[in-house]
Amino acid sequence: MFQGLSEKLQETFKRLRGKGKLTEDDVNVAMREVRMALLEADVNYKVVKDFVAKVKERSIGVEVLESLSPGQQVIKIVNEEMVALMGGTSSKIHIASKPPTVILLVGLQGAGKTTHGAKLANMLKKQGKRPLMVACDIYRPAAIKQLEVLGQQIGVPVFSQGQENPVKIAQASIQHAQTHGSDVVIIDTAGRLHINEELMGELRDIKSAVKPHEILLVVDAMTGQDAVNVAENFHQELGVDGVILTKLDGDTRGGAALSVKAVTGCPIKFAGVGEKMDALEPFYPERMASRILGMGDVLTLIEKAQEAFDEKQAREMEQKLRKKEFTLDDFLDQMQQIKKMGSLSSILGMLPGGIGKQLKDVQVDEKDMAHIEAIIHSMTPLERRKPTLIKDSRKRRIAKGSGRSVQEVGRLLKQFEQMQKMMKQFAGAPGMGMMGGGKKGKKGKKPGFRLPF
């Protein structure tokens, strides 16, 4: 995400940080590089021009040029202006005071409306809502079936009436929601390969019939400026309330994310960051700017961890570590909880500057985790508890059962043994009261410290 832009900006700011005092010429050179980086990232030309002008105006002020750390001041200004460019603060869905809240999803064919409608329903369900998805795309082959399959997958009901008129389906869905206790209605509409009057006419009719509280436009981030143009046209025709940017995890340039709000006035409300049903995130301008500038996104990382990790399991794991009883079963549990947070590459991308930079060249192969799981699943319960029992004949059996090589089985066991040794050292370290072996304080109390699991 934003890899090209992020690298270029960080290189520019690295040169600024190295200067004890900045001149106006230094700022001009840096702003030229920022301009080129943004244009190469496919950010709208007018947006780039306005953005650079604002940053430059603030950067050549007395408080920056005469500051003790002028380079840091310029980075702070760029960060603030970038946050403002993307909307300033996160924009939430407007929930109706009288249910149901009606959300109308619109967009071109292929943008991901159906999938992201299901992702949105899944997110709202986790927040305690009772969503209903509505199949109003009667033209695309298997669109209704796709929505029904996704609904079964996430446990959300789907309302459909086959090839009936989309306006009538939408109206009937509101009545269905009221009688069946659904408090959010998400209407999946048809798209076209391009914007035309037939498409807009149908969407205007649905809007007029159901009076949605939110009209969300789904656009593909990887189409760059085309996504911005589509957003502008839809907003003029329908009055869009917000944007869902899909495939943002695959967009190494980021032009759409940086241009949409400035060009259309419509805030980005959600970002699609993967294929799984939980791969939809609220869009936070300040966090996104922080990621682009290499400062990481620790808040999102913490939220993902809180959502993925089970508190009861965490307490049990802490007790096991206190007693130095960490087994391969526990290792497998921890690995599966990390997987719930998303891909390892996306997790590394949220780490701030120094750490993220050190790990940016690390090649993360998600298949390795699947191979480790297969190896551990091929062991007996006793072998998982006592890996020291696993000698050559057992290694051959485990390798055959998991479809991996004997060498891979041996490598995993060696790495796990090293991990156990490290944890035992950690447990017995002086002053580490978390393991029960630390020194007592003056009042006889051990220092408190919780494990980060």
Are both 228 and 371 inside the same structural domain? no
**Is pLDDT above 60 for 309?**
no
Q: Which of 61, 85, 109 is the last residue of a domain?
A: 85
What are the tens digits of pLDDT across the range 217-235?
Answer: 998 888 777 888 888 889 9
Sequence letter at residue 190: A
Which one has a higher pLDDT value, 251 or 435? 251
* pLDDT value of position 135: 94
Least reliable range by pLDDT among 72-86, 208-222, 312-326, 429-443: 429-443
pLDDT band of residue 128 (cuts 50, 70, 90) is very high
Inter-residue contact 33 to 69 (CB < 8 Å): no
* pLDDT value of position 41: 84
What average pLDDT score do residues 186-213 get? 90
* Angle between the N-to-C axes of helices 143-154 and 113-126, in degrees from 0 to 180, rounded to the nearest 10: 20
Are both 288 and 321 inside the same structural domain? no
Tokens standing for 203? 């969407």
Inter-residue contact 290 to 353 (CB < 8 Å): no
Residue labelled with tokens 């446990």: 155
* pLDDT value of position 447: 37
Are both 395 and 257 inside the same structural domain? no
pLDDT band of residue 213 (cuts 50, 70, 90) is very high
Which one has a higher pLDDT value, 325 or 410? 410
What CATH number should be reported for the domain holding residue 363? 1.10.260.30
What average pLDDT score do residues 244-255 get? 74
d(CA 358, CA 362): 8
Tokens standing for 344? 């390892």
Are both 79 and 109 inside the same structural domain? no
**Is pLDDT above 90 for 12?**
no
* pLDDT value of position 68: 58
Are both 255 and 230 inside the same structural domain? yes
**Is pLDDT above 70 for 386?**
yes
Are both 218 and 318 inside the same structural domain? no
* pLDDT value of position 65: 64
Q: Per-residue b/e over 234-261, b at no fewer than 16 CB within 10 Å?
A: bbebbebbbbbbbbbbebebbbbbbbbb
* pLDDT value of position 167: 94
What are the tens digits of pLDDT across the range 38-80?
Answer: 888 888 888 899 999 998 888 887 666 666 577 778 888 888 8
Domain enclosing residue 213, as ranges: 101-293
- Report if residue 340 sits inside a domain: yes
**Residue 192 vs residues 137, 146, 240, 242, 283: alpha-carbon distances, Å:** 11, 17, 17, 20, 26
Q: Which of 233, 267, 293 is the last residue of a domain?
A: 293
**Is pLDDT above 50 for 450?**
no
Q: Which of 25, 54, 85 is the last residue of a domain?
A: 85
DSSP letter at 246 equals E
- Report if residue 21 sits inside a domain: yes
d(CA 330, CA 320): 9
Are both 367 and 431 inside the same structural domain? yes
User: Can you say how many angstroms the Cα of residue 452 is from the centroid of all Cα atoms in its chain?
Assistant: 21
Least reliable range by pLDDT among 143-152, 238-247, 303-312, 337-346: 303-312
Task: Look at residues 19, 86, 21, 23 and name the one whose alpha carbon lies nearest to residue 51.
Answer: 86
* pLDDT value of position 438: 39
Mean pLDDT (the chain) is 79
Are both 280 and 342 inside the same structural domain? no
**Is pLDDT above 70 for 441?**
no
- Report if residue 298 sits inside a domain: no
Are both 137 and 275 inside the same structural domain? yes
Are both 325 and 398 inside the same structural domain? yes
In sequence order, the 6+-apart residues with CB closer than 8 A to the CB of 192 are 108, 109, 198, 199
- Report if residue 446 sits inside a domain: no
d(CA 311, CA 317): 10
- Residue 332: count of CB within 10 angstroms of its CB: 17
DSSP-derived pairing of the beta strands 184-189 and 268-272: unpaired
What are the tens digits of pLDDT across the range 140-168?
Answer: 878 999 999 999 999 999 999 988 899 99
What are the tens digits of pLDDT across the range 395-427?
Answer: 999 999 999 999 999 988 988 888 777 766 655
Query: Could you give the strand order of the β-sheet that contains 101-106, starting from the edge strand earlier in sequence?
Result: 158-159, 131-136, 184-189, 101-106, 214-220, 242-246, 268-272, 280-282
DSSP letter at 139 equals S
Are both 363 and 232 inside the same structural domain? no
The number of domains in the chain is 3
Are both 194 and 78 inside the same structural domain? no
* pLDDT value of position 297: 46
What CATH number should be reported for the domain holding residue 75? 1.20.120.140
Inter-residue contact 406 to 395 (CB < 8 Å): yes
Return the percentage of the chain with pLDDT > 70, whole number: 76
What are the tens digits of pLDDT across the range 69-113?
Answer: 777 788 888 888 988 988 888 888 888 988 899 999 999 888 889
d(CA 198, CA 141): 18
Residue 11, Ramachandran bin (φ over 0: left; ψ between -120 and 50: alpha; else beta): alpha
Which one has a higher pLDDT value, 167 or 247? 167
**Is pLDDT above 80 for 291?**
no
What are the tens digits of pLDDT across the range 352-380?
Answer: 554 444 444 444 456 777 888 899 999 99
- Report if residue 94 sits inside a domain: no
* Angle between the N-to-C axes of helices 298-308 and 328-340, in degrees from 0 to 180, rounded to the nearest 10: 120
DSSP-derived pairing of the beta strands 280-282 and 268-272: antiparallel
d(CA 3, CA 19): 25
Least reliable range by pLDDT among 186-200, 247-261, 336-350, 424-438: 424-438
What CATH number should be reported for the domain holding residue 243? 3.40.50.300
pLDDT band of residue 430 (cuts 50, 70, 90) is very low
Inter-residue contact 6 to 291 (CB < 8 Å): yes
What average pLDDT score do residues 184-213 get? 90
Return the percentage of the chain with pLDDT > 90, whole number: 30
* Beta bridge mates, 187: 104, 134
